[in-house]
């Protein structure tokens, strides 16, 4: 039944350091970000070395303030002369692409990790043999059989942020979103849908309020 949720990619259970497919990626990112976030401010050369090791690509002149957090690092591609302020968090189980000359304010969350909205597709038995198309472990009132052990389903969608954008402090960019070039996202916004070029968008959910020339 997982394939009904996302035919491209879906996996049951928490992605962890013990997971055969993800463990190495998660462990590598955890080790690098731990080292990064415990550097002395004077260790700028070491910081740049670790950032190059962490990310799939990081452009010349790009600054990442600390602390910084991510799932894998290698799935994140950052352009040149971009600025990422402190306490940003990237759930990069899929590709995150950030363009050139873009600013991310403090506390921005960029999320590619996702889950199905439907409870019966999000919560499945740990034992694959118990799954069936009739959801026999759920009664007619929607109650789950409590004698069964359950877990949740992970899915993922890439995120792209264009060139010369400004993502305001504490904004959240949700899975699957593409933000065009020359876009401003107001502080504290939740971006749930694609945003075209040359606009200002604010709110939760973020809505376009005017052109950005």
Contact at 8 Å (CB) between 186 and 199? no
What is the token pair recorded at 129? Answer: 């043999």
In three-state secondary structure terms, 153 is: strand
Single out the catalytic residue among 12, 115, 122, 207: 115
- Region for 176 from its dihedrals, namely left if φ exceeds 0, alpha if ψ lies in -120 to 50, beta otherwise: left
Q: Which residues pair with 69 in a beta bridge?
A: 89
User: How far is Cα 97 from Cα 160, in angstroms, rounded to an integer?
Assistant: 5
* DSSP secondary structure letter of residue 129: G
Which residue in this structure is represented by tokens 């606009």? 199
- The residue count of the chain comes to 213
Terminal-to-terminal C-alpha distance of the chain: 47
Q: Among the residues of 107-158, which ranges form H helices?
A: 119-122
Residue 115 bears catalytic tag: yes
Q: Which residues are designated catalytic?
A: 115
């Amino acid at each position: 039944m997982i394939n009904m949720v996302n035919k491209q990619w879906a996996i049951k259970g928490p992605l962890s350091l013990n997971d055969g497919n993800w463990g190495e990626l998660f462990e590598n990112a955890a080790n690098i970000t731990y080292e990064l976030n415990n550097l002395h401010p004077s260790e700028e050369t070491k910081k740049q070395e670790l950032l190059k090791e962490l990310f799939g690509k990081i452009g010349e002149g790009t600054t990442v303030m600390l602390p910084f957090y991510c799932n894998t690092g290698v799935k994140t591609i950052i352009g040149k002369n971009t600025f990422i302020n402190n306490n940003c968090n990237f759930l990069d189980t899929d590709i995150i692409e950030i363009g050139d000359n873009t600013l991310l304010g403090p506390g921005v969350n960029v999320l590619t990790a996702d889950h199905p909205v439907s409870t019966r597709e999000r919560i499945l038995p740990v034992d694959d043999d118990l799954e069936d198309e009739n959801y026999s472990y759920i009664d007619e009132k929607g109650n789950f059989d409590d004698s069964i052990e359950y877990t949740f389903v992970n899915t993922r969608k890439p995120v792209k942020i264009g060139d010369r954008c400004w993502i305001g402090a504490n904004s959240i960019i949700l899975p699957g979103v593409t933000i065009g070039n020359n876009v401003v996202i107001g502080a504290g916004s939740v971006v749930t849908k694609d945003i075209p070029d040359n606009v200002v968008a604010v709110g939760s959910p973020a809505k376009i309020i005017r052109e950005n020339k």
